[in-house]
Amino acid sequence: MSQQTAAAPGFSQRFGRVQLAASVQMSIKARELKAAGKPVVTLTTGEPNFDSPPHAIEAAHQATLRGDTKYPPQDGTRALKEAIQRKFKRDSGLHYALDEIAVSNGGKQCIFNAIMATVNAGDEVVIPVPSWIAYAQMTQLCEGVPVLVSCPQNNGFKPRAEDIDAAITPRTKWLILNNPNNPTGACCSAEEIQAIAAVMRRHPHVWVMSDDMYEHLVFDGFHHATFAEVAPDLKARTLTLSGVSKTYAMTGWRIGFAGGPKPLIKAMTVMQGQATAGTSTVGQAAAAAALDGPQDGVDVQIKAYQRRRDLAVAMLNDTKGITCHKPEGAFYVFPNVAGCLGKTTTGGRMLNSDEDVCLALLEEHYVATVHGAAYHMSPYLRISTATADDDLREGLQRIQTFCAGLR
């Protein structure tokens, strides 16, 4: 993948290597159109449209009242780390000692800390794609090289073990796995992860990051398994990452966490120490309550995401020029828009790429989505189902009207 190096005078080359995420850019455009009075339906958002659990809010309140408002330990409060320890055991049968757990400002900072602490200039990070854009961007910030491994639709958007094997070189530092995946919702089974683990046993110099941020959001009884659980012999070089953002609708509290080998966790904490010194004590109290408290709210949300996935997949497969794979989890669908390319919209625009489709949809029918190229695979759209049912249905109907009008 090509790296941008030019930056405006006064700014670092490092800054020149990163961009504002396409999903954020599309959300900004959608907000501008909304502010101009247009009836915009936003299907770009990567966050649950539910409220945080009341017991988490109460725990935050109590934390402030008892004066839990001082600098936290840089790797997280003991109370939250104990709750995370119980969570890893409960969900994955994994034991992490307290000094094998780090808490950060969102899962995103855990990933950032890990890459900052390990990647040197020229080091390679193997990223199955489509993927969340941050992995490649963070790698480039550290002057590393993202090595993208294509996970085609005909393999359910999942990585093939042999493709991962072929991508690994002596310069490889990390393999990043993300189950369920943003943006496709694909989730590898334990058997598929086992096949990848067999490859990783042949490459002992490579760390494995298992980004399980959407681990609970799986449908039709699918069992989510994390890498270290499937391959306990590789736990000593695996970073297991999760958080409360997606499972508990707590994106704004900014709490993520990771379990991993002690030296890596320590290095990540040193990095964090220089960036943020630690994570909000109030947010940590809320996260501990979410992890330890009643989980029935999560089930309600899973049911809603499954219902919306079914609605979106059915309506998209009923749309001229679009086909849509049915994902195992998360709150995204990733329809293929190849049948729209080479056509002209009712507004007179020629569609040559998924970005053209995305912009025409927004500007002519006021539906905001994100183009697949932003996640390293074209021609697709990412549609978020973390949207009220009525808005989702309205957005999908407009996509149908848009496609029906293509000539």
Binding status of residue 279 toward ligand PLP by CB under 6 A: no
Q: Is 256 in the site for ligand PLP (CB under 6 A)?
A: yes
Residues 120-179 that bind ligand PLP (CB under 6 A): 132, 178
Q: How many helices (H) and strands (E) does the chain have?
A: 14, 12
- The smaller minimum CB distance to ligand PLP, of residues 131 and 319, is found at 131
- Which residue number is nearest to ligand PLP in terms of Cβ? 106
Measured from the CB atom, the residue of 45 and 345 that comes closer to ligand PLP is 45
Q: Count the site residues for ligand PLP by CB under 6 A.
A: 13
Pick the binder of ligand PLP from 107, 144, 260, 329 (CB under 6 A).
Answer: 107
Of 106-114, 144-152, 302-310, 343-351, the window that binds ligand PLP (rule: CB under 6 A) is: 106-114
List b or e across 104-123, with b for residues whose CB sees 16 or more CB atoms inside 10 angstroms.
Answer: bbbbbbbbbbbbbbbbeeeb
How far, in Å, CA of 155 to CA of 128, rounded? Answer: 12
Residue 301 interacting with ligand PLP (CB under 6 A): no
* x-marked contacts with ligand PLP along 34-63 as a string, rule CB under 6 A: ------------x-----------------
Q: Give the containing element (helix H, strand E) for 210.
A: strand 207-211
CB of 233 to ligand PLP, least distance (A): 25
Cβ-based neighbours of 338, under 8 Å, separated by 6 or more: 321, 379
Q: Does 387 bind ligand PLP (CB under 6 A)?
A: no
Query: Which region, judged by CB under 6 A, interacts with ligand PLP, from 77-85, 105-113, 226-234, 367-375?
Result: 105-113
Q: Which of 251, 269, 279, 387 binds ligand PLP (CB under 6 A)?
A: 251
User: Distances in Å between the alpha carbon of 298 and those of 105, 133, 217, 248?
Assistant: 22, 26, 8, 6
If binding is defined by CB under 6 A, does position 87 make contact with ligand PLP?
no
Q: Least separation, in Å, of the C-beta of 279 and ligand PLP?
A: 11
- Residue type (1 letter), 381: L
Q: Mask of contacts with ligand PLP, 182-211, x by CB under 6 A?
A: x----------------------------x
If the CB atoms of residues 182 and 319 are measured against ligand PLP, the closer one turns out to be 182
Assess 108 for contact with ligand PLP (CB under 6 A): yes
Please tell me the distance from the alpha carbon of residue 130 to that of residue 22, in angstroms, as a whole number: 14
The reply on whether position 243 binds ligand PLP by CB under 6 A is: yes
Shorter beta-carbon distance to ligand PLP: residue 268 or 340: 268
Please state the closest distance from residue 384 (CB atom) to ligand PLP, in A: 10
**Which residues are near ligand PLP by CB under 6 A?**
46, 106-108, 132, 178, 182, 211, 213, 243, 245, 251, 256
